[in-house]
Chain A
Amino acid sequence: MNEWLHEFGNILLETLRAVSPIIGLLVLFQLLVIRKPLPHPGRILVGFLYVLLGVALFLVGLKMALFPIGDLMAQQLTAPDFLGIEPDPDRVHWYNYIWVYLFAGCIGFAAAMAEPTLIAVAVKVSEVSAGSIRALPLRLAVALGVGGGLALGTFRIVTGAPLYTYILTGYAIVAIQTVFAPKVIAGLAYDAGNVASSTVTVPIVTALGLGLAAAVPGRNPLLDGFGLIAFTCLIPIINVLGYGQIAMWLSRRNQAANND
Chain B
Amino acid sequence: MGSKFPFIERVLHNRFVRQLLASALDLVPIVVVILFFQILVIQQPIPEAGRFVAGMLLVVLGLTFFMQGLKLGLFPLGESMAHAFVRKGSLFWILVFAFALGFGATVAEPALIAVADEAARIAADDGAITASVEARKSYALGLRLTVATAVGFALIVSTIRIIRGWPLPYVIVGGYAGVGIMTIFAPPEIIGIAYDSGGVTTSTITVPLVTALGVGLSSSIPGRNPVSDGFGLLALAALMSMIFVMGYGIFA
- Is B191 an interface residue when CB atoms closer than 8 A count as contact? yes
Which chain A positions have C-beta within 8 A of B42? 73, 76-77, 82
- Is B215 an interface residue when CB atoms closer than 8 A count as contact? yes
Q: How far is the CA of A62 from the CA of B55 in the complex (A)?
A: 6
* Interchain nearest-CB distance for A87 vs B (Å): 20
Known interface pairs A20-B108, A69-B34, A197-B202; A124-B75 also in contact (CB < 8 Å): yes
Interface residues of chain A: helix, strand, loop or mixed (majority): helix
* Interchain nearest-CB distance for A203 vs B (Å): 8
Which chain A positions have C-beta within 8 A of B54? 64-65
Known interface pairs A44-B73, A51-B66, A120-B207; A175-B30 also in contact (CB < 8 Å): no
Whether B225 and A65, one on each chain, are in contact in the complex, defined by CB atoms closer than 8 angstroms, is no
Which chain B positions have C-beta within 8 A of A200? 30
Which chain B positions have C-beta within 8 A of A49? 69, 73
Interface size on A, residues (CB 8 A): 106
Q: How far is the CA of A104 from the CA of B183 in the complex (A)?
A: 27
Q: How far is the CA of A176 from the CA of B198 in the complex (A)?
A: 22
Which chain A positions have C-beta within 8 A of B73? 43-51
Number of A-B contacts (CB under 8 A): 345
- Is A33 an interface residue when CB atoms closer than 8 A count as contact? yes
Give A contacts to B, CB under 8 Å. Answer: 14, 17-22, 24-26, 29-30, 33-34, 36, 38-40, 43-66, 68-70, 72-73, 76-77, 82, 99, 103, 106-107, 109-111, 113-114, 116-117, 119-121, 123-125, 128-129, 133, 163-164, 167-168, 171, 174-175, 178, 183-188, 190-191, 193-195, 197-200, 202, 222-230, 232-233, 237
List 28 contacting pairs A-B, 8 Å CB cutoff, sorted by A.
Answer: A14-B110, A17-B108, A22-B105, A25-B97, A29-B97, A33-B93, A43-B72, A44-B72, A44-B76, A45-B73, A46-B73, A50-B68, A51-B69, A54-B62, A54-B67, A55-B62, A58-B62, A65-B52, A66-B59, A114-B59, A120-B70, A168-B180, A186-B172, A187-B235, A190-B236, A223-B188, A226-B196, A229-B200
